[in-house]
Amino acid sequence: MSYLAVKDASKQFGGSVRALDGVSFTVERNEFFTLLGPSGCGKTTLLRSIAGFADLTAGSISLAGTGLDSVPSHKRDIGMVFQDYAVFPHLTVAENVAFGLKARKVPAAETAARVAEALATVRLGAMATRLPAALSGGQQQRIGLARAMVIRPKLLLMDEPLSNLDAKLRIDLRDEIRDIQKSIGIAAIYVTHDQEEALAISDRICVMNAGRIEQIGTPQEIYADPRTIFVASFVGTMNVLPREAASHLGMGPDVESGRAHQLAIRPEHIRLDQGDVAPDSIRLAGMVEKYTYLGREAHVLAQTPAGKIVVQLADPSPTLRMETGSPIPLAFRRQDILSFDSSGMRLEGRGN
Partner 1 sequence: MRVSFWTLVSIFAWLMLIALLVVPLGSVLLSSLQDQAGNFTLGNYTRFAETPRFRAAFVNTLIVGFGGLVGSLLLGSAMAFCMARIEIRGSRIVSLLAILALVSPPFIGAYSWIVLFGSGGLVRQTLMSWGIFIPPIFGLWGILIVFSFKFYPYVYLLASGALSNINRSLEEAAESLGLTPFQRVMKISFPLVLPAISAGGLLALIHSIADFGTPRLIGRGFNVLATEAYTLYSAEVGSNLSMATTISIVLIMLSMLFVFGQRYMSRRNVYHGNLINKPVKKKLTGFRNVAAHGVVYTIALIGAMPAFIAAIYSVRRTSGPVFHPGFGLESYRRILYNLADVVQNSLMFSFATVALIVTIGTLIGCLVARKMSVNTSLLDATLMVPYVMPGIVVGIAFVAAFNAPPLALTGTAAVIILSIFIRRLPYSVRSSASALRQVSPSMEEAAISLGYSPARAFMKVTVPLILPGIVAGGMLSFVTAINELSSSLVLYVGSTATMPVRIYIAINDGDYGTAAALSTVLLVLSSTAIYIAFRLMGRDERALL
100 is a contact residue toward partner 1 (CB under 8 A): yes
Residue-by-residue DSSP string for 238-278: -EEEEGGGGGGGT--HHHHTT---EEEE-GGG-EE-SS-S-
Work out which of 27, 41, 94, 122 binds ligand ADP, going by CB under 6 A.
Answer: 41
Burial class of residue 81 in the structure, from the number of CB atoms within 10 Å of its CB (0-12 exposed, 13-18 middle, 19+ buried): buried
Options 3-11, 66-74, 292-300, 308-316: segment touching partner 1 (CB under 8 A)? 66-74
Closer residue to Mg ion (CB): 43 or 271? 43
Q: Which of ligand ADP, partner 1, Mg ion, none does residue 78 bind to, with CB < 5 to 8 Å depending on kind?
A: partner 1
Cα gap 90→280, rounded to integer Å: 68
Whichever of 114 and 170 has its CB closer to ligand ADP, that residue is 170
Distance CA 209, CA 204 (A): 17
For residue 99, state whether it binds partner 1 (rule: CB under 8 A).
yes
Q: Considering the complex, what minimum distance in angstroms separates the CB of residue 6 from ligand ADP?
A: 14
Mark 12-51 with x for binding to partner 1 (rule: CB under 8 A) and - for no binding. Answer: ---------------------------------------x
CB 84 within 8 A of CB 148: no
3-state secondary structure of 9: strand
Does residue 147 bind partner 1 (CB under 8 A)?
Answer: yes
Note whether 161 binds ligand ADP by CB under 6 A: no
Residues 6+ apart with CB under 8 A from 315: 296, 297
What part of residues 57-86 is at the interface with Mg ion (CB under 5 A)? none
Q: How far apart are CA 299 and CA 311, in angstroms?
A: 6
Site for ligand ADP in 44-63 (CB under 6 A): 44-45
Could you list the residues that contact Mg ion (CB under 5 A)? Answer: 44
